[in-house]
Structure 1
Amino acid sequence: MLSLKKALILGAFSFFSVAILNPVLAQVKFTDSLTFDPSIKVGNLANGLKYYIKRNTTPAQKAELRLVVKTGSVNEDEDQQGLAHMTEHMAFNGTKKFKKNDIISYLESIGVSFGNDLNAYTNFDETVYILPIPTDQSSNLEKGIQVLNEWAHNVTMKDADIDNERNIIIEESRMGLGADDRIARKLFPKLFSDSRYAYRIPIGKDSIIKNFKYDAIRRYYRDWYRPNLMAVVVVGDVNVSAAENLIKKYFSPLKNPVNERPVVTVNVPPYKTTEAIVVTDKEATDFNISLMYSVTPRKVEYLVEDYKRTLIKQLFTSIINQRFYEITQQPNAPYLYAGVSLAGISKNYEQFSLSIYPGTNDASKALEAAIKELERVKKFGITKSEIDIQKRNTASFFEKIYNERKSSLSSDLAEEYIRNFLVNEPVPGIEKEYAYVKLILESLTPKDFSDLVSYMDANDNNYLITLTGPGTGDDMDLPSESELLAVAKNAMNSKDVTAYEDVAVSTILLDKLPAPGTIVKETKDLILKTKSWYLSNNTKVTFKITDFKDDQILMAARRQGGYNNYDLKDKYSAELSTTIANLMGFGNFDAVTLNKALAGKTANVTASMSATVDGFYGNSSVKDLETLFQLLYLKATSPRVDSMQFANYIDKRKQQAYYQFSNPETVFIDSLLKLKNENNPYAGSIVETAEDLNEVQLYRAVEIYRERFSDVSGMEFVFVGSINEDSLKLFVEKYIASLPSSGKTFGWKDVGVRSAKGIHNIEINKGQEDKSLICQIYSGEIPYSEDMELKAQIITTILNKKINEELREKIQGIYSGSISGGLTKLPYNNFYFIVQLPCGPDKVDVLIAAMKKEIDELISKGPGKKDLEAAKAELLHQHPLSLRSNRYWLEQITEKIFPGNDMEFNLNYEYYIKNINSKSISAAAKLFFENGNIITGVLNPEVKK
């Protein structure tokens, strides 16, 4: 989950758990201190270790454990570059009490999967170990805390294990190679102002990883893994006192080094001068311009007035980004995207920056236009109406999260406590935070935002401009560094900037409310606990009332249909029809004004069309349910036609597609899929080309949209969540039963796209890095059944475990690889499995052979008992969590409608899993992998080293 500082980019709010504006709570003052949530048990051991414990029952019978260490790559010595990250890897290679793979094997036996659940990460300033465990057995909590304890001080670091892990780290490094990495490494010294951050990238240096002496990594572990730099976080369905006693039992004996190394705070100096840098790479796929001001030290929030400043920054960046969005919706917009953020480059700093994606437009004009928009803010400020819109959005966001406070995920809460430990982010508790938000939002005026202009004032702050991209092409002549500086200076001193003109927007979505229809029949499903209403316009509504979230209602609608019903000449007009309609707007609203009209509302509806299905998806809070229905009616009946918006959209898509095939992997995957689909024109390309987009016709796209969504004959709507039946009934009759319906029968179409039969091999030589990618596709036709789909899931789970154990740990040929796939019903009964193995060119043949060996053994011998039980445990662990999810039930009910799944199978899921045996898995694997349809693709570099 993003921290607040990173969330500023998105205009999101993840600072605290949030609160509704409830007028009965006590008033607070700006000078009040921010309190700490009393429901969290926080303590410090004598050795300096800190712990956080919180009982939380979402999800039930599960706990999230974290070991947080205030050390990262900035603490590395010259001979240790990359070893902070490698130390994290070594924790999974064995400790004094857990031999190599014992931890992973134990956790997999109780349903915790390595990589998906069990994981860790290393950054510049911290290392965090992530351990989710089921708590249905009390012994699991103690075992989990014991594992954290072992990672904290008992990692064995054996010579052989270190040597084995070197190759895996090299493969992880290899995966990151490419245009983005090459560009970033050229920029880092400038971006980080030549500070230590520029030279301590967490992945490190391959030359050091290959050759460092054993003591270098052991020295890092001794120096920095110590209790006074650690925190233990436990959040979940646990007994707080029992968890605290276990933490004290296992972590109190830990001791700090006698002569401990002092923690060095890395300072990032301001930019010494204003400069620009241009970096190009022939494999880059887009252009990016950034303007970054010098960093400023991040202030710790202690008082309510500190929180106010943080909230104002969020609102401020959101307002500016809304203005940039409005510009991108105009004809001949100077850039595809632009936005500002206050995200920090490290935990102790924040930085005001402007990012611009010019597409294939003139880079100089894009930079000039974006800077002038900032100058508009500097000279004229922001308007009261802009502030009011963001205040409504903020209040609505806070209200929804407050209403769902009882269903806050343990993993999200754990992340919040981690940020408190690392950067002192406050955790005041919901009730207190309500009062803060109420006070702040009621008090805000345009004057409160004026101080933030100093972040953008180039006269008092040097800045850095970067331009990166594919290089000079036929349609784009890149400016030089001196030209970029001149453009920026002229734009900042421009005299032709005028005030922002805000247009009043109506909040009434429908000019005229429709005449209601009626419910003509009602049925109940006692097993699924659903109720269905048959409506007078030949539609149906099914709903399920749940208590999983107190303020969430999900909606979906489905019927047979899809863009396969249209000929090739309409292919792209049909596939893009819903996107085009959303961009042009509905009724009296274009895309910009509709967003403003919905300010403060938590409601959304989107029309959706796949190859074989027509439908809608939507969601709302409880109080905004009628808004969801009004949006549904509006989007079903009133798509707009806006030729300028259409032309603007097609131009943007062409610009985005222009350089996509500069990426070697895009070329490879596109070639592989065309081979798989036998170049069937209905299958298309992985990326729409300019030629494809030229086929899109405005009026035909709108006509198709109306054909699919302005006639709801035979459509079934599904609602799941915290539903009031009386309210739902009123809105269903008013807005769904009144939708146009001709009585027409809609159906789906099979256009004949099939996977190539036989064995095929393809090799693509493209890319300058010494890296390869193996991609194998197994496919065939087989009758669909839920039982066979379940076996496919178990097979992929087992094989993914074997990929980790054999191809990664033993062969050391990959950092990560995977197999995915399963069965599909439409447009024909078939299956597919895709193996992906990124690796070095010298390991291609070895890995292909190793993967074949694992598949052959699964067919001939079946899975071992341990592997099968671990795979079944993982699925059994996940299923109860799914049953407490509104989205799961929405998907299950809509799939029951079409193409028609077996709900009995899903309701008795655990029974079917438990009855699967090794023999049945072997037989299923034989059907999947011995049918003779195999495509093996290999991407190799242009020149093998």
Structure 2
Amino acid sequence: MKKNLHLLAVGALSLVLVQPAIAQKKAPAKASVAKTTAKPATSTTIPNDPSVRIGKLPNGLVYYIKKNVEPKNRAELYLGNKIGSLMENDDQLGLAHFTEHMAFNGAKDFPKNEIINYLQKAGVRFGADLNAYTGFNQTVYQLPIPTDSAEVFKTGFKILANWAGKVTMDGKEIDNERGVIIEEDRQRGKDAGERIRKQLLPLLLGNSQYAKRLPIGDIQLLQTFTHDKIRNFYKDWYRPNLQSVIAVGDFDVNEVEKLIIANFSGLTNPANERARPYYTIPDNAQPLIKLVTDKEQPYNVAQVIYKQKQGPIKTESDYKLQLTQSLINSMMAARLAEITQKGNAPFLFAQSAYAPYQGGLIWDISALQTVAVAKTGAELQKAIVAAVAENERMAKFGFTAGELETAKKKMEAGVEKQFKEKDKTKSAALVQQYLNNFLIGAAMPSAEYSYELSKKTLQNITLADINTAAKAMVTKTNQIIVVQAPEKEKENLPTEAALLAAIKNARNRVTPYVDNTVNKPLIAQAPKAGTIVNETKNDKIGVTSLTLSNGVKVVLKPTDFKNDQIIFTSFAKGGSSLAKDDDFQSADNANLIAQSGVGDFNPTQLSKYLAGKTASAGAYINDLYQGFSGSASPKDLETAFQLIYAYATNPRKDPEIFNKNISDFKVITANKNSSPTSVFADTVQAVMANYHKRGMPTNLSDIDKINLDKAYAFYKDRFADASGQTFVFVGNFDVEKIKPFITTYLASLPSLNRNENFVDNGVNPPKGKVNKAVKKGLEDKVTVQLVFHDNYTYNAENNVMLDALKASLDIKITERLREKESGVYSPGVSLSVQKYPTAQYFFTISFNCAKANVEKLVNAALEEVNTFKQNGVTAEDLQKFKSEELRQEELSLRENAFWVNYLTNRLKYGENLDQVLGNTARINGVTVEATKAAAQKYLNGDNYIRLVLLPEN
């Protein structure tokens, strides 16, 4: 429930912000809005990282080259363009984004879709790896590529150069792509969020050029523009003096520089260059306000935005200001979280955070954004006023020394961790810094400089600095107030005048904040240690297995993948499957006990206790298992063990927090049927569970059955017997040095030797063919899911075959539905498998489309499935699968998270821990003929579920 509420609030925030930049498969950071703050007159300029080679070709193209060996044999290649939708003419609306699409549809050296085809064969995945996005001011192409193949690596630079100046803009390809762009707009919009945004954007963007140049453009124009319009846009703006090449990875810097010079020196700028325009958002002296309702808007949300003008970090003063603002955000988040936990909290959720400019969609604009979600329209004014009152409390009285100390400890711990990992930093994490240097002139210091500057700056930030900056965030001008609410709440909402007056008077009754901390140890008395009774080693995969005196098993895999990371999880059979039907709702929500804190510490107090420590742990209960999970730095590992022990032996029973969560859950459940996607998701859940009572979506009567005493008792019972627990630890630790923590905190856990197992309660999908349509929604937007499923024999060989079918079918569905039919934007094929309680697989083909195209596209998808059954996977697609799978495995084997999941699953399923050593042989052993037999077996259609969400009319 907590998770659902968090998603609710984040969704509310995003609705009033500018729609993200349009991407092939994903979007970059979101935008802010505008005002003015003073900056120090002079300050030391932050120097660029000397290990980054920065150069400029005679034609104006700038390049950044950085050798970085994580991950090994990989590089991140980016093409950055200071070009976005703000460069469009009135007859080109949407063509900056359309141009980005066309870069993947034919260039001088790579006709049609040959770029994607070539890279997939090299193991680069379209969407997941190969990608691009378009914003107001920039268009960015990203290409992660292997470096251990000289030919592939060199070709990567040729691809970037083709994007930069050699896209062919074939007329037939342009016309084919129109439908894809239209479907992208349908998939991303055609909902309450889009309708609300259209009403709010003129207000939020001040009727500026930003409001007139949304990246998706004008749908009518996209359907009708003549080819010369997009060709002119490409000719005018894709030019080297507005471009940069960024290369970070495991390579020779001198060789890369030669490749850039060879591939990009021939690009030329147009004879009569158009001036690159720059725009901003106007100030507003008086608050701007707008209330918007929509039939499908599920929640009552209000937001106050305090616009400010703040540029990128270039100097040490800029850096200090941004660190100060980050500390303020941390302290404000803690205050609001503390209020939210109370039974009389005036809001379901509230958030107030300053978003400093970091190269987002709207250049040079920052904002303090405060949002509140209320149970009803009648309570919305009270909710937002309470949230704004916290801004006013902050501005009027500032923060306490204790709060600042806690926030500094948290930030210092993060700074230390980042610096310890400097030689293990992924190349992808470095690219954005160099891109921002090119686009907006942001500083790009070395890791060493950043570390020393952070330490020095944090020491020098005083409480007076904090309180001065906090006061400056809450401006009296440049305020924007927006409300989004369900249409049924329209009559209950406050008037604009009443809301303005209430927000203006929010500071009248605020008093200083009182810090609430607990000065007690997490564990009052060290537990009586147990012993290790057995130890075995598997040298093939570097694993040590321990059996403890209380029956607990521990599997240890030390690694050097990260310098400052240890992650862990555990499991024991049982979970909520053991609950009686009458107690199931309480048992299914027993996780609320773990979310209430531990021992004497409520969540806020626990967060303060852990400040400065890099350690976390928590307990979970799911359908089949219960256990613990968390992470820690080596220096704080004992704290993580203490948390495990505390959650197991001293859970917190907090009626106020529990009842607040239940109350919030009721509001969420009561409102969710307003959203078509929520209604469809509930229907899918019900159908896939064959309407079994334990698999149905939660309704209000279910919530009424949730009882604190029963939930607490079930939680206590699930962790009363640790004898069935198996722990997996992976990361930077020494086996001998971790043993004392294991014997003290794990071997001492209570043990009853109940030898439990989970229960199969019969929650299974329906057999045979099922066709279910849901009519919900105002727009011409359809969601389709086609599910092929059955029982099967769960083993490594069958799973690799299923993976091969999934990957290859994904390619074919995309080629058919997107490229050939132009009827969808991003169709997908997903595969999920399970061994327990019964071994089953699920293939799901999913896409969004127009209502008129549903049957055509469903039939096209099924035709591709039938082709698989007749012919198997094509040799070319099988090669792509093998390349992508083996390339991903190279990366996975160097990830702690992979090993935690891998070892946990092998242990859960009673399988050989050495299984991973045979993966390469299994992948390479898949043949075309074998995929044909597999397709006939696993995609036979005997058990086929068709699920469709249709508009109401």
TMscore range, shorter length = over 0.9
Structure 1 residue aligned with 2:552: 539
1:65 counterpart = 2:65:
no
* Greater mean alpha carbon deviation, residues 724-733 or residues 169-178: 724-733
Following the alignment from structure 1 to structure 2, what is the Cα–Cα distance between the partners of residues 535 and 669?
Answer: 44
Aligned CA distance change for structure 1 residues 150 and 384 (closer, same or farther; 3 Å): same
Following the alignment from structure 1 to structure 2, what is the Cα–Cα distance between the partners of residues 150 and 842?
Answer: 37
Following the alignment from structure 2 to structure 1, what is the Cα–Cα distance between the partners of residues 492 and 949?
Answer: 31
Following the alignment from structure 2 to structure 1, what is the Cα–Cα distance between the partners of residues 351 and 763?
Answer: 41
Aligned CA distance change for structure 1 residues 786 and 280 (closer, same or farther; 3 Å): same
Structure 2 residue aligned with 1:485: 500
* Greater mean alpha carbon deviation, residues 722-731 or residues 544-553: 722-731
How far off is 1:711 after superposition?
A: 2.1
Task: State the superposition RMSD in angstroms.
Answer: 1.8
Following the alignment from structure 2 to structure 1, what is the Cα–Cα distance between the partners of residues 677 and 410?
Answer: 40
Contact preservation (8 Å) 1:64, 1:130: yes
SS in 1 for 2:722: coil
Structure 2 residue aligned with 1:598: 610
Following the alignment from structure 2 to structure 1, what is the Cα–Cα distance between the partners of residues 718 and 810?
Answer: 40
Structure 1 residue aligned with 2:213: 200
Following the alignment from structure 1 to structure 2, what is the Cα–Cα distance between the partners of residues 260 and 675?
Answer: 59
The residue identity in structure 2 corresponding to 1:218 is: R
How far off is 1:318 after superposition?
A: 1.7
C-alpha offsets along residues 254-274 of structure 1, whole Å, 9 cap, x if unaligned? 111111111111021112422
Structure 1 residue aligned with 2:945: 935
In the alignment of these two chains, the number of paired residues is: 911
Structure 2 residue aligned with 1:20: none
Following the alignment from structure 1 to structure 2, what is the Cα–Cα distance between the partners of residues 425 and 380?
Answer: 33
The residue identity in structure 2 corresponding to 1:292 is: I
Contact preservation (8 Å) 2:394, 2:471: no
Structure 1 residue aligned with 2:583: 570
The residue identity in structure 2 corresponding to 1:811 is: E
Structure 2 residue aligned with 1:375: 392
1:183 counterpart = 2:196:
yes
How far off is 1:451 after superposition?
A: 2.7
State TM-score, norm by structure 2.
0.93
SS in 1 for 2:786: strand
Which residue, out of 424, 427, 436, partners 1:419?
436
Following the alignment from structure 2 to structure 1, what is the Cα–Cα distance between the partners of residues 545 and 768?
Answer: 47
Aligned positions of 1:69-148 closer than 5 A: 69-148=81-160
Aligned positions of 1:340-419 closer than 5 A: 340-343=352-355, 344=357, 346-360=362-376, 362-419=379-436
Structure 2 residue aligned with 1:22: none
Structure 2 residue aligned with 1:21: none
Contact preservation (8 Å) 2:354, 2:368: yes
Following the alignment from structure 2 to structure 1, what is the Cα–Cα distance between the partners of residues 468 and 713?
Answer: 50
The residue identity in structure 2 corresponding to 1:258 is: A
Percent identity of equivalent pairs = 37
Which residue, out of 905, 911, 914, partners 2:915?
905
C-alpha offsets along residues 496-543 of structure 1, whole Å, 9 cap, x if unaligned? 211101123326211111111111221111222111221111112110
Contact preservation (8 Å) 1:905, 1:912: no
Structure 2 residue aligned with 1:226: 239
The residue identity in structure 1 corresponding to 2:456 is: L
Structure 2 residue aligned with 1:330: 342
Which residue, out of 703, 716, 722, partners 1:712?
722
Which residue, out of 551, 569, 578, partners 1:556?
569
1:736 counterpart = 2:746:
yes
Contact preservation (8 Å) 1:619, 1:628: yes
Structure 2 residue aligned with 1:273: 286
Following the alignment from structure 1 to structure 2, what is the Cα–Cα distance between the partners of residues 822 and 793?
Answer: 10
SS in 1 for 2:505: helix
The residue identity in structure 2 corresponding to 1:649 is: N
SS in 2 for 1:284: coil
Which residue, out of 311, 319, 322, partners 1:307?
319
Aligned positions of 1:567-716 closer than 5 A: 567-578=580-591, 580-685=592-697, 688-716=698-726
Contact preservation (8 Å) 1:269, 1:295: no
Aligned positions of 1:285-304 closer than 5 A: 285-296=298-309, 298-304=310-316
Contact preservation (8 Å) 1:472, 1:478: no
How far off is 1:299 after superposition?
A: 2.9
Aligned CA distance change for structure 1 residues 456 and 237 (closer, same or farther; 3 Å): closer
Following the alignment from structure 1 to structure 2, what is the Cα–Cα distance between the partners of residues 166 and 716?
Answer: 54
SS in 1 for 2:164: helix
Aligned positions of 1:36-75 closer than 5 A: 36-75=48-87
Aligned CA distance change for structure 1 residues 587 and 527 (closer, same or farther; 3 Å): same
Structure 2 residue aligned with 1:23: none
Structure 2 residue aligned with 1:830: 840
- Unmatched tracts of structure 2, length 5 or more: 1-9, 18-27, 30-41
How far off is 1:818 after superposition?
A: 0.9
Structure 1 residue aligned with 2:542: 529
Structure 2 residue aligned with 1:429: 446
Structure 1 residue aligned with 2:183: 171
How far off is 1:31 after superposition?
A: 4.5
Contact preservation (8 Å) 1:271, 1:294: no
Structure 1 residue aligned with 2:21: none
Structure 1 residue aligned with 2:37: none
Structure 1 residue aligned with 2:249: 236
Following the alignment from structure 1 to structure 2, what is the Cα–Cα distance between the partners of residues 879 and 504?
Answer: 46
1:245 counterpart = 2:258:
yes
Which residue, out of 792, 812, 816, partners 2:822?
812
C-alpha offsets along residues 694-719 of structure 1, whole Å, 9 cap, x if unaligned? 11110111111111123211211111
Structure 2 residue aligned with 1:464: 480
How far off is 1:931 after superposition?
A: 4.9
SS in 2 for 1:352: strand
How far off is 1:51 after superposition?
A: 0.7
Contact preservation (8 Å) 2:532, 2:549: yes
Structure 2 residue aligned with 1:19: none
Contact preservation (8 Å) 1:607, 1:616: yes
SS in 1 for 2:70: coil
Following the alignment from structure 1 to structure 2, what is the Cα–Cα distance between the partners of residues 457 and 38?
Answer: 39
Following the alignment from structure 2 to structure 1, what is the Cα–Cα distance between the partners of residues 455 and 576?
Answer: 48
C-alpha offsets along residues 119-167 of structure 1, whole Å, 9 cap, x if unaligned? 1110111100011111111122210000000000110111111111111
SS in 2 for 1:522: strand
1:865 counterpart = 2:864:
no
The residue identity in structure 1 corresponding to 2:763 is: V
Following the alignment from structure 1 to structure 2, what is the Cα–Cα distance between the partners of residues 449 and 889?
Answer: 42
The residue identity in structure 2 corresponding to 1:472 is: K
SS in 2 for 1:436: helix
The residue identity in structure 2 corresponding to 1:820 is: S
Contact preservation (8 Å) 2:685, 2:696: no
Structure 1 residue aligned with 2:34: none
Which residue, out of 778, 801, 810, partners 2:788?
778
How far off is 1:484 after superposition?
A: 1.2
How far off is 1:456 after superposition?
A: 4.2
Which residue, out of 746, 757, 765, partners 2:756?
746
Following the alignment from structure 2 to structure 1, what is the Cα–Cα distance between the partners of residues 574 and 408?
Answer: 41
Following the alignment from structure 1 to structure 2, what is the Cα–Cα distance between the partners of residues 369 and 471?
Answer: 24
Structure 2 residue aligned with 1:839: 849
State TM-score, norm by structure 1.
0.94
How far off is 1:443 after superposition?
A: 1.5
Structure 2 residue aligned with 1:513: 526
Structure 1 residue aligned with 2:328: 316
* Greater mean alpha carbon deviation, residues 418-427 or residues 618-627: 418-427
Following the alignment from structure 1 to structure 2, what is the Cα–Cα distance between the partners of residues 169 and 513?
Answer: 62
Structure 1 residue aligned with 2:20: none
SS in 2 for 1:280: strand
Structure 2 residue aligned with 1:884: 894
Contact preservation (8 Å) 1:275, 1:485: no
